[in-house]
Structure 1
Amino acid sequence: MTIRLKATTILAGFAPAVLLGAMATTAVAQDAIRVISHRQPALEYYTNQMIKALPEGRVTAELMPIDKELELASITMSSQSDAIDVVYLNDASFRRFAANGWLEPLDDLWEKYKDEYDLDDFPPSVIEAVSYDGHIYSMPILTNTELFFYRKDLLEEAGINPPATMDDYMAAAAEMNSPRRAGTIMSLKPVDAALNEAHWYMNAIGDGWFDENWRPIFNNEAGVKAITALKEMSQYAPRGFTSHANDESTINLQQGLATMGLQWFTRAAAMDNPEQSRVVDLIDWVAPPGGGARIANDGYAISKFSSADREEVFKMLAEAASKESMLEGAKFSMPPRLSILENADLAKQYRWYPAARKALETGAAFPAMPDFLDVGEIVTRHILRAVTGEAEVQAALDQAAQETEELLASRGYYEN
């Protein structure tokens, strides 16, 4: 019997083994194309577009937090199981999955259908972002960038301009912090959320993560200054910030429990949703102070081990990524198609677009290495030790750098 789930289904809280078992059960339904995805508004929209692209019952979709989704996908694909057909991957996880040989190359289908679906409308930078070792592996769905959200009414009342530098940000958060409302959100749940936050500080204040030979530089003087600033800023964050990710920080902004902070473009529309938000029309956006916040090109890839018809799956993805679909989806995420990015009406319709365009100019992607998420597990663990006072900042970063070098040396990054 086919178990068909709607794209809005949430599987948070289930252990990966349980999820894998549940998906294995659905594998008996040979006609169902199985999609797993991170859960956020833009991806809810695009998975629904996939469901609508084929007859009813042909597509099932499960949405869950990013850490659970990636763990489930890793368990499934490393065992060469066909329990998953399509997986959502962000820029960092994509490289690891492609390097492991878990994804189906799409070059032939891209060439075959490029005119029908106007695939040349994706700029070369986006195609490069979904390619690995010269092959296209993913259908680009959204260009995402982190924005700086702030309560324009509260800052205006206090006579504070939107922060342009990290020093401005620190001063504004300190002044706006109160028992009633945190000065800033802070998302330090390992690994993805904490890595995003640290990435901003490492670029805006530090010198980045690595030198040209993949040797860590995040423990140099500038890196120590960056994480020291993160530690100091944490005193203005809500309680429990070390377990907060995007959902928790979004809610804190929506419910008026925090004044400002870093959050994804894809969460902007939720601020003006009267069914969810108490701050409709009170939030505004600028490019993150100091620049260097994360930008990402994310998409959906076909599992190398899928037993579904790859051409049908590709066409389903292409329909979801069509011009018409992305124009409608622009309210949730920044589409990676040139024709839509150049649409002047979007800036009038969605008031966070001007800030997003500026953020794209000043942002920075994660380092282009397949193993960066594994590095992130090491780095975020030690950054949290520093932020919570368990270790001195320099000592924590030195330990992280040592473990990172050992990991990368074991994977052949350095010549003997």
Structure 2
Amino acid sequence: MKPIRLAASLGAAFLLSATVSTIALAQTPVCSAPVKVLAQPRDGLTLLEDSKAEFEKLAGAGFQIDYLNENDRRAKSRADASTVGNYNVYYVDEANVALFASSKWIVPLADYYPADYDYADFDPGRQKVATYGGKVWFAPLTGGGDLMVYRKDVLEAAGIQPPKTLDELIADVPKLTNPDKGMYGIALRGARGSGANVWRWMPFFKAYGGQWFDGDKPVFNSDAAVKATETYLKLFKDSAPGTQTGSWDESTGAFLSGQVAILVESTPLSGMAVDPKTSQVVGKIGFLPPPSPLPGGGYGHGLAIAAKANADDASKKCAGLFIAWATSKENEKRRLDAHQFGELNRTSILSSKEFAGIYGADLGQALAETGKVTAVNFWQDPRWPDLGDRWGIILEELVTGTRTDVKGGLNELEAYANELAKKK
């Protein structure tokens, strides 16, 4: 990959029109040693390597990023944070930020993220995901919510307007299903997992007023959970083949190959849908926020300041400066220039003319609108993956028909949650 350089004139960079470059305004170097980062592979992080000299000039020292796959990264960062503390910066995500924050393995970011780097410019949904216990813990590298991506040609042929409410979605999906023509009204996720079928089920749960816990008391075994599950199962009758035991790959693959009329999915799908290399439906699709009152399923991955390796304030400031630089407007502009759609997190980028020129104005507008309704739908607690995965098993059984008693499944989950609550 060729390095992508900053514009020779700061005035030429669209995102700097209202402010002076944060990099140009850098103060006295604050790092006395290279910043050690533990992360998982991302195109945006790889792109940072091309600008390593820039950070060295800014901070007085360089950085080293060690990459591991997602599961290994989670395991090693947990082991490192709880013992030796070799890394100054951890790559964290929505699934483990509660554990890292509550265990005091990372420190709140706000005090060490320089104001010039404009944290408020991040998409509102990503900011919500980065917040736990009322404090911000990481700066986003990737993330998003949900979008409704739909086939304009298929809906127009059926005389159906894009649904704007959940009731309209439920009514329209069966009308758009025509197996003889290889077309299905929707695609959902059936495979078990807190980040698989449960992730797609949770917006329905929240839309109907569901909550997970009241303090340490589970309150999810409710009419909202029953109705959400019944709605999910009803929609599954018109879900594309392979999705009953599939997840992200199967549902998005069905849409991108032209088999699905409407898909409510995580926002990276939208970038794939307009890319001829991955999509067979380019030029035939529209974008809207999820039908009301569905909230978007907020998720996010980003960089956090390690506690143990940064024992003094100076070290924390150094780590904070690296995080701010890595997620800066300037570096995000580089990611836009490299067409790294999944690495774009700032409203100044998503609303820019340059973004619209690459991905279309409609997509930028839809992303701005969905950011307003993006929510943290899961239980923000270190025990969430355990509870979510258990519900995923039950939900998969309901989807495949090996279990039929929705209320019985929720009763079973409640008993499991009561045992989990004792482990706090």
Which TM-score bucket, shorter chain as reference? 0.7 to 0.9
Residue-by-residue CA offset, 1:276-318 (whole Å, 9 max, x unaligned): 2111121211111232231345422244455997655543322
Instruction: Give the counterpart of 2:327 among 307, 321, 326.
Output: 321
Partner of 1:394 in structure 2?
A: 407
Tell me whether 1:301 sits opposite 2:314 in the alignment.
no
Whichever residue aligns with residue 323 of structure 1, its letter is: K
Is there any run of 5+ residues in structure 1 with no aligned partner, and where? 1-29, 412-416
Does the residue aligned with 1:200 lie in a helix, a strand or coil? helix
TM-score of the two chains, using structure 2 as the length reference: 0.74
Instruction: Give the counterpart of 1:369 among 380, 389, 400.
Output: 380
Instruction: Give the counterpart of 1:201 among 199, 204, 212.
Output: 204
Contact 2:36–2:88 (CA<8 Å) still a contact in 1?
A: yes
Partner of 2:145 in structure 1?
A: 145
Residue-by-residue CA offset, 1:127-163 (whole Å, 9 max, x unaligned): 6753545664312335511111111111111212112
Contact 2:139–2:304 (CA<8 Å) still a contact in 1?
A: yes
Contact 1:218–1:224 (CA<8 Å) still a contact in 2?
A: no
The verdict on how the C-alpha distance between 1:153 and 1:89 changes in structure 2, with shifts beyond 3 A counting, is farther
Whichever residue aligns with residue 50 of structure 1, its letter is: L
Contact 1:130–1:137 (CA<8 Å) still a contact in 2?
A: yes
Q: Percent identity?
A: 24
Bigger Cα displacement from structure 2, 226-235 vs 89-98: 89-98
CA distance in 2, matches of 1:107, 1:142: 19
The verdict on how the C-alpha distance between 1:78 and 1:306 changes in structure 2, with shifts beyond 3 A counting, is closer
CA distance in 1, matches of 2:351, 2:184: 37
Tell me whether 1:276 sits opposite 2:278 in the alignment.
yes
Aligned runs of 1:225-236 on 2, under 5 Å?
225-236=227-238
Contact 2:47–2:335 (CA<8 Å) still a contact in 1?
A: no
Instruction: Give the counterpart of 1:100 among 103, 124, 133.
Output: 103
Contact 1:334–1:341 (CA<8 Å) still a contact in 2?
A: no
Count of residues in Structure 1 that have an aligned counterpart in Structure 2: 371
Aligned runs of 1:44-123 on 2, under 5 Å?
44-55=42-53, 59-60=64-65, 62=67, 64=69, 68=71, 71-73=74-76, 76-77=79-80, 80=83, 86-106=89-109, 108-110=111-113, 113-115=114-116, 117-119=117-119, 121=121
Is there any run of 5+ residues in structure 2 with no aligned partner, and where? 1-32, 55-61
Contact 2:141–2:344 (CA<8 Å) still a contact in 1?
A: yes
Residue-by-residue CA offset, 1:346-373 (whole Å, 9 max, x unaligned): 5574431222233233343225632333
Contact 2:183–2:261 (CA<8 Å) still a contact in 1?
A: yes
Residue-by-residue CA offset, 1:51-85 (whole Å, 9 max, x unaligned): 33425995446474x5x366534653476365766
Q: RMSD of aligned C-alpha atoms? A: 3.6
Whichever residue aligns with residue 321 of structure 2, its letter is: K
CA distance in 2, matches of 1:249, 1:59: 37
Tell me whether 1:403 sits opposite 2:406 in the alignment.
no
Whichever residue aligns with residue 322 of structure 2, its letter is: M
Partner of 1:159 in structure 2?
A: 159
CA distance in 2, matches of 1:347, 1:97: 37
Partner of 2:28 in structure 1?
A: none
Residue-by-residue CA offset, 1:107-131 (whole Å, 9 max, x unaligned): 5532xx333x344655999667535
Partner of 2:362 in structure 1?
A: 351
TM-score of the two chains, using structure 1 as the length reference: 0.75
Contact 1:50–1:319 (CA<8 Å) still a contact in 2?
A: no
Partner of 1:7 in structure 2?
A: none
Residue-by-residue CA offset, 1:223-246 (whole Å, 9 max, x unaligned): 212101111222222333254333
Which structure has the bigger radius of gyration? Answer: 2
Instruction: Give the counterpart of 2:220 among 215, 218, 234.
Output: 218
CA distance in 1, matches of 2:167, 2:122: 37
Shift, 1:403, TM fit:
1.3
